[in-house]
Amino acid sequence: MDPFEQSAGRIAAAMGTVARSVAPAAPVMLGEILQVQPLRLQANGLLIEQDSIKINEALTELKEGAQVVVLSLDGQTYYILCKVVAI
């Protein structure tokens, strides 16, 4: 392999690493209810406050510690879609 190919390979590898580090988070994530009143949620390492959360009406009885599936398309509004449990 000539020096140009080696350099190009290193540059491509570095670009891939940077792209992965700045890529947007997945829109669907697991979260945990930290507090019910006011509603606070932790998902993807973020603490999300009630004013940024929308919730499925059927889930208004969530309890602290509940595991939930969360959707955010813009990183600003978080939608609690459902509660998940181990079986």
Give the tens place of pLDDT for each residue, 24-61: 668 999 999 999 999 999 999 999 999 999 998 888 88
**Residue 13 — very low, low, confident or very high, per pLDDT cuts 50/70/90?**
confident
**Kind and range of the H or E element at 16?**
helix 3-22
Determine the pLDDT at residue 22: 66
Q: pLDDT at residue 17 above 90?
A: no
**Quick one: the chain helix, strand, coil %, rounded to 5?**
30, 35, 35
Instruction: List the beta bridge partners of residue 54.
Output: 79
Domain ranges (residues) in the chain: 26-84
CATH architecture designation of domain 26-84: Beta Barrel (2.40)
Residue of 60, 64, 24 lying closest to 80 (CA atoms): 60
Instruction: List the beta bridge partners of residue 71.
Output: 28, 79
And the tokens for 40?
């606070």
**The dihedral sign for the CA sequence 87, 68, 41, 64:** negative
